[in-house]
Amino acid sequence: MNDRHDLQLLLKSGPPIVVVETADEQRFLQLLIQLATSASADAYRPLYRWTITDGLQRIDLDLEPQRHNSDPQEGLRHIRAVRKPGIYALLDFHPFLADPLNVRLLKDIAIEGQSRGLVLLLISHSIQLPAELESLSARFEMRLPGAAERHAIVQREIDSHAEEVGREVHVDPQALDLLIGTLGGLPHSDVERLARSAVRQDGAITADDVPAVMQAKYRLLNRGGVLGYEHDTASLADVAGFRGVKVWLQQRRLAFTHDPPPGLDPPKGILLIGVQGCGKSLAARAAAGALNVPLLRLDFGSLYDKYHGETERNLRDSLRTAETMSPCVLWLDEIEKGVATGHDESGTSRRVLGSLLTWMAESRSRVLLVATANDVAQLPPELVRKGRFDEIFFVDLPSPTQRADIFAIHLRRRGLDPETFDLPRLVTATDGFSGAEIEQAVVAALYAAHAVRQAPTARHLLAEVGRTRPLSVVMAERVASLRRWAKDRTVPAD
């Protein structure tokens, strides 16, 4: 089955109005012309296109446009008056559907023309069909190119570039495979365009084309959306502790980036709950880095933003975009802010929660959710019930070993050798510190040392540590209640 076959059936025996939402108008018209001109003599119908700029124009024969009927109403009256079979492709007619006269004219044409083989095609990027016309219409969707077709498109671009520059295009087979996978979920014209720029950019297909195509794809899919593409992922080595999370990720790595072996369900996702500043967001970034897939971040703030309009629709669109970008990590940061149902009068966040839970239960796509939260009082119980997430990890204040690792990571990142610092002393002095507070102490100590033109030492660090009153002291009660809550509901992240 293909587009051509489906469209042929629809034009032959479908309703008199066909709605086509596409960004690929030219390709669709090509398809129509092919169909029209290959029809047998007794089934032949003339094919017209109408636009506000040119009026009606016969395109199966390539005749001159008849500009006098470029006015929408004139155009429709003309079509109505021609009492013959024909296929009329109305391009970008959607704004004129707001006029009741046009709607009635379309209905008249459809009813009167039905028996003599007249079909009206409404072709626009997006169409809201008035209810009056629904029962006389069907929708046609052009299929997105499958893997074989994408391969053919990329190959065509490679060949044409090679011919143009007069030398072979270097193609790394693995990068080609990745590129073909990445181009999935996009319409023909976008596949062609992205493939072309990948080939032409450096005259080769190599691994470094893939991230650029991935980002371009994301921009195409998320026009005006609320999903952020995070360029800044981390590696597992950037995260101290989190041993449980790391093992979890490593065990699922292969099943996630390739088709899962029979009997293994694709992983759905994890929830990281815990103390502020202890690396939850960092771990979400590292999940994408470890799996080597894009990281998309759903910002609940803009999900609810009035400017962005309907909240649930935003969520659905974002989830769909994530599915098309899969395999990917979808990061729901501070999820409690999006689904807290406590003081919500309109019921929106309850519906958002409902949509999210339904999607989590039904989606089979390779979108790994990594949700983070630090306020358990606001977390709806439905979300933390068994079976929603694959695992709920509790992120506690770092242990002594973890603190030593955090110091080492952040010193090394700033070009310093941790071996030259008295780590055991620093670890003892930072009991109750979060990772963020340790990092902050390192940053401040470096400035302090720089100001007096000294090389940073443990002494500078200890001085900063001494000045800090960690959150765990300020909010001791909160941390204690978080731990109580987590005891029976979660597993330790480390």
Please report, as ranges, the residues that interact with Mg ion according to CB under 5 A.
Answer: 280-281
Which of ligand ATP, Mg ion, none does residue 35 bind (CB under 5 to 8 Å by kind)? none
Q: Phi then psi for 284, rounded to 5 degrees?
A: -65, -40
List of residues 6+ apart from 361 with CB closer than 8 A: none
Q: Which is nearer to Mg ion, 233 or 281 (CB)?
A: 281
Q: Choose the binding region for ligand ATP from 49-57, 114-122, 278-286, 442-450 (rule: CB under 6 A).
A: 278-286
Structure tokens at 435: 């990772």
Contact between 318 and ligand ATP (CB under 6 A)? no
Which of the listed partners (ligand ATP, Mg ion, none) does 239 bind, with a CB threshold of 5 to 8 Å by partner kind?
ligand ATP
- Say how many Å lie between the first and final Cα of the chain, rounded: 52
Interface positions, 440-459, toward ligand ATP (CB under 6 A)? none
Beta-bridge mates of residue 491: 393
Within 13 A of 256's CA, how many CA atoms are on the CB side?
23
Which of 493, 313, 303 has the alpha carbon at shortest distance from 393?
A: 493
How many angstroms separate the CA atoms of 7 and 197, rounded?
31
What distances in angstroms separate CA 414 from CA 240, 272, 289, one per listed residue? 16, 28, 21
Could you tell me how many residues of this chain bind ligand ATP (CB under 6 A)?
Answer: 18
What is the nearest approach in angstroms of ligand ATP to the Cβ of residue 304?
A: 19
Measured distance CA(339)–CA(300) in Å, rounded: 9
Contact set for ligand ATP, span 422-441 (CB under 6 A) = 435-436, 439
Which positions from 219 through 258 interact with ligand ATP, judged by CB under 6 A?
239-241
- The pair of structure tokens assigned to 363 is 């989606």
Alpha-carbon gap, residue 205 to 168, rounded angstroms: 11
Q: Does 276 bind ligand ATP (CB under 6 A)?
A: yes
Q: Whose Cβ is closer to Mg ion: residue 45's or residue 280's?
A: 280
Calculate the alpha carbon distances from 204 to 168, 172, 201 in Å.
9, 8, 8
- Least separation in angstroms between residue 406's CB and ligand ATP is 5
Give the nearest distance from C-beta 179 to ligand ATP in angstroms: 32
Q: Which is nearer to Mg ion, 87 or 340 (CB)?
A: 340
Q: Choose from Mg ion, ligand ATP, none: what does 124 bind? Cβ within 5-8 Å by kind.
A: none
From the list ligand ATP, Mg ion, none, partner contacted by residue 79 (C-beta under 5 to 8 A by kind): none
Q: Answer yes or no whether residue 282 interacts with ligand ATP by CB under 6 A.
A: yes
Spatial contact of 414 and 442, defined as CB atoms under 8 Å apart: yes
Interface pick for ligand ATP out of 280, 366, 388, 403 (rule CB under 6 A): 280
Q: Does 409 bind ligand ATP (CB under 6 A)?
A: yes
Our finding on whether 406 is near ligand ATP (CB under 6 A) is yes
Amino acid making up residue 40: S
HEC letters along 390-409: CEEEEECCCCHHHHHHHHHH
Q: List beta partners, residue 373.
A: 273
Q: Which of residues 355-374 bind ligand ATP (CB under 6 A)?
A: 372, 374
Does residue 281 interact with ligand ATP by CB under 6 A? Answer: yes
Q: Rule CB under 6 A: which residues touch ligand ATP? A: 239-241, 276-282, 372, 374, 398, 406, 409, 435-436, 439
